[in-house]
Amino acid sequence: MLNPQQEKVVKHYGKPLLVVAGAGSGKTKTLAHKVEFLLTERGLSREGILCITFTSKAAREIRERVLKVCGADLPWAGTFHSVAYRILREKLGRRFAIADEKDVEEIIRATLEKLGVRKDRAEGVRKFIQRVKEDLTQISSPELIELFETYQRTLRENGLFDFSDLLYELYIHLLKDESLRESLKDTFEFILVDEYQDTNTVQYEVIKMLANKDVCVVGDPNQCIYEWRFARPDNVLRFIEDFKPDVVRLETNYRSGGYILEVANSLLLNSSARWRELVPTLRAVKGMGEKPIVRRFEDPQEEALWIGKEIKNLLTYLQPSQIAVLVRVSFITDLLERTFFKMGIPYKVVGALRFYERYEVKTLLHFLRLLETPADGVAFRRTLPALVSGVGEGMLRKVRENFIGNWVEALKRTVESLPQRMGAPLRSFMELYGEATELPYPDALKKVVEESFYLEHLRRKYREDFGERLENVKELIETAEESFKEGVSLGDFLSEAFLVSSEEEGKEAVSVMTIHSAKGLEFSAVFLPRLEEGILPHRSALEGEEELEEERRLFYVAITRAKDRLFISYTKGKERKASRFLSEIPKRLLNLEYFRKRKTHYSVELKANPSVRSGVLVRHKVFGVGKVIKVDGEKAQVDFGGKVKNIHTHFLQTLD
């Protein structure tokens, strides 16, 4: 059963159409019925309908829906890139392979070497090439023209296209070849484009050259969150200007409760974007539901424990896969992962590596492993090239020849045979290593980060997202400091980190992901932690109006992922304050009851160990073996070889 707006979309024909589809408004179902209408009522052929989506998953979903609705397959349903690939191969007879990431890296490196450009500019050059192909940026400098042409020539000499080439080459062909344009216009009697707000410039121009009057684009500029990947939400306005379409809004939301939708609507009322008049007002069919809960905490640890406790409650009636924690920046997941691990909550980090698996974090963990065990070859090989400039496979081979049970001693013997100048960086590292062995492990981490080549190594390796990598490094140091204060040894700190890292992700698990990764998904319950200035909106967006608007859209996307329950939280401290976006939401729409209650401290729920009694021997993972002096309720007084500690019996294992 279609609602009136959906039916209007389905039966519209003979003029360009823009469908502004709000979140959860049933657009896929609508598109499937529109295809049925085109096939059965308008008599179009299956081969004559070009249906373009942004992901292979979305293309499969539309094909499956169409198959279910009218029993027909759509041969030309696919992503922009897959459609371009087919046209280049089948219509133009181009023969090529697609270059993978490693191929592109090697060709850029070879191009820079050939032109005498520094290798550390590789990431910037790669971004420049993408911008030319995807945003159709004009190249003005002769040096950059030569660089671009050399890169393209090397690709072609190897029979390769990079990913951006697929649409760029099609665009060039269409621009130059009028007969190709007319031929493809005749082939495609009707063009459907989904997620139109995420189109970049080259995609827009390709559609503009292929489309007749029978074109329908579906999108919502308020859900464009990929401008950093050259998506242009203004393409919706360009479509209105170039095609003069009819406009239909899909505003009935089948996903979320009314309070959640009113929160989302209120957020967009304050938008300063040029397409404000296209903002859909979402209306719920499910009733008002529960108000989103807002909580404030003293620190991130307290916030993470509260989230864990609320998830435990939700798991009494929801499956883990129905729950998601959405974050703006990835370093936030560290505390959440450790908390969920300790509380026994099954979780998976979606669309990104777990915190302790991230390169910048794991390299430092391997340095700590090397401090504890100088015979650890894996730790040595992963650490040295990152911390000492100029170390490569050749140097590692030399050290291996001198290895007799201790890699640091092997390095020392190797350095002794090197010329003074060549061995200087390695001598500095050995001095740093020696000093680090005498320090508490949090201070050892600080020392290696501040005094080694490591930060420069990260800056060169991750030029585009170095800031986020640096935040992960800082988070690791803070975690180490907290653990050290709690009496956790270096060995136990490393054990926990590698245990959390290697914990198997089950299929039924709570999803932890960035908001960008959550686009197009929905969950019964959604948590949005650390809604603070500098995080959402991100600090990099605070000075530009366009960037701030994208942060607003990001928050809107996050809110509209929730079907039934939405939990928003933030921490308040000396340098932390609530996001400005929270103040834009009317208080009547939010559950603020916790602000009226006495402050509650959250901690992991501990169960007493009844086998712990006075006089028995027990083991503690940090303090080792001790003897219980007395038990008082859930706590025991234990003598660990002269050091008496009061410890909750949950953390004690009896030995007799």
In the CATH hierarchy, which top-level class contains the domain 4-93+168-250? alpha beta
DSSP 41-89: TS---GGGEEEEESSHHHHHHHHHHHHHHHS---TTEEEHHHHHHHIII
pLDDT at 489: 81
Buried b (16+ CB within 10 A) or exposed e, 87-115: bbeeeeeeebeebeeeebeebbeebbeee
In CATH, the architecture of 598-655 is Roll (2.30)
pLDDT in tens, 464-500: 778 888 888 988 898 888 888 877 788 778 766 765 5
Is residue 416 within 8 A of residue 335, CB to CB? The reply is no
pTM of the model: 0.68
* Helix/strand/coil percentages in the chain, nearest 5: 55, 15, 30
Q: How far apart, in whole angstroms, are the C-alpha atoms of residue 415 and residue 403?
A: 13
Count of CB atoms situated within 10 Å of the CB of 128? 17
Q: How far apart, in whole angstroms, are the C-alpha atoms of residue 119 and residue 116?
A: 9
Query: Which residue reads 């499969």 in tokens?
Result: 60
Output the six-digit token pair for 58: 């979305």
Q: How far apart, in whole angstroms, are the C-alpha atoms of residue 358 and residue 514?
A: 15
Beta carbons within 8 Å of 463's beta carbon, 6+ residues apart: 120, 123, 124
DSSP lists the bridge partners of residue 654 as 618
Is residue 253 within 8 A of residue 522, CB to CB? The reply is no
Helix (DSSP H) and strand (DSSP E) numbers for the chain: 25, 21
Q: Round to the nearest angstrom and report the end-to-end CA distance of the chain.
A: 68
Is residue 32 within 8 A of residue 62, CB to CB? The reply is yes
Q: How far apart, in whole angstroms, are the C-alpha atoms of residue 559 and residue 566?
A: 7
Is residue 557 within 8 A of residue 223, CB to CB? The reply is yes
Nearest of 637, 633, 635 to residue 615 by alpha carbon:
637
Beta carbons within 8 Å of 146's beta carbon, 6+ residues apart: 115
Amino acid at 266: S
pLDDT at 227: 55
pLDDT at 377: 78
Is residue 294 within 8 A of residue 569, CB to CB? The reply is yes
In CATH, the architecture of 293-353+505-595 is 3-Layer(aba) Sandwich (3.40)
Q: How far apart, in whole angstroms, are the C-alpha atoms of residue 443 and residue 481?
A: 8
User: Alpha carbon 585 to chain centroid distance?
Assistant: 26
pLDDT in tens, 539-574: 887 777 778 888 998 999 999 999 999 999 999 887
**Lateral strand order in the sheet of 323-327:** 293-297, 562-571, 523-528, 323-327, 510-514, 347-350
Which residues in the chain land under pLDDT 70?
A: 224-231, 275-276, 351-353, 495-496, 498-507, 596-606, 621-622, 656
Nearest of 152, 476, 544, 490 to residue 335 by alpha carbon:
476
Q: How far apart, in whole angstroms, are the C-alpha atoms of residue 317 and residue 310?
A: 12
Query: To which CATH superfamily is domain 355-499 assigned?
Result: PCRA; domain 4 (1.10.486.10)
Q: Cα separations (Å) of 365 from 330, 373, 408, 488?
A: 18, 12, 17, 15
Is residue 620 within 8 A of residue 488, CB to CB? The reply is no
